[in-house]
Amino acid sequence: MEQSLTIKEIEELGYYDFMGYMGVPFFNIGGAASIDRLAELCNIDENTVVLEVGCGTGGNACYLAEKYGCRVIGIDIAEYMISYAQKRAADLHLTDRVTFQVGDAYGLEFPDISFDAVLTVFASQFLDPSRVFPEFHRILKQGGCLGINEMYKADHVPPEAIERVNYGEQVFTELTDMPFTLRGPSVWREAYTAAGFTETVVEEHSNYMRQAETLSMIEEVGGWGKLLGILWEMLVLALRSGKIRRRYGKISKGKRVLLRDRVASKYIGYILCAGVKP
């Protein structure tokens, strides 16, 4: 964690800048296996130029570049996320293949037909597909792929669960100051079609996680040492700031409803989608 900010300055950081400042690893519920499957669906190899929108601290971008040899540009609206991502790429000696910059999904500063693949991971649920999918389509080359790895809710959620799911969405909307919407598989499929993508693939994955998978994901984000170090720093901040303690409470509440609630979580998981620009 950087030491240049005062407690008051840290309290004023937006959710994602705060997470970037703390060095919290980018964490998607599907783990590395879901990124590998997305790479397969989008035909990513050493000749692929990828744009990752909402790249966070750069974990997925660096993973793809290191494993598949592709070139990746990552953009995110949070400056501290980008700062941490740039440090990660430098530490991994990947700066020749991975670059990061602050950017807005609704106004991508790239020419038409620039990329072979556009990816979002835990980002498109904050975005309006009717606005961003045409922009993704614009910057893709002919035959290029749009791949998303996002949380989703089932197309049909019974009344006893929908109120809890809606509450979880509301908590994350308030926490991030961005609209957080879990969409069903049919909604994602329709968004691809409306934006002009073809050959759309939609794969649903249960939110249920076995202990072995959880342990694997901890290793993927840097291991127990890194995780415990970050948790310790977060605890120290919480002891010094009531505002930060309340933020942690909201994070815990949202995750508890969407990921661990016995009624609601069975209708929530992650979804992998891919479509081709004809």
- One digit per residue, the tens of pLDDT, for the chain of length 278 reads 445 788 888 888 887 788 777 777 665 678 888 999 999 999 999 999 999 999 988 999 999 999 999 999 999 999 988 998 999 999 999 999 999 999 999 999 999 999 999 999 999 999 999 999 999 999 999 999 999 999 999 999 999 899 999 998 998 898 888 899 999 999 999 999 999 999 999 999 876 554 444 445 545 555 556 666 666 777 788 788 888 888 888 777 777 777 778 888 889 989 999 999 99
How many CA atoms within 13 Å lie on the side-chain side of 43? 11
Residue 219: alpha-carbon gap to chain centroid: 18
Here the tokens at position 13 are 């950081």
pTM for the whole structure: 0.86
The pLDDT assigned to 210 comes to: 45
What homologous superfamily does CATH list for 7-276?
Vaccinia Virus protein VP39 (3.40.50.150)
The pLDDT assigned to 186 comes to: 97
Phi/psi at 195 (nearest 5 deg)? Answer: -85, 0
Residue of 90, 106, 79 lying closest to 19 (CA atoms): 79
Which residue ranges make up each domain of the chain? 7-276
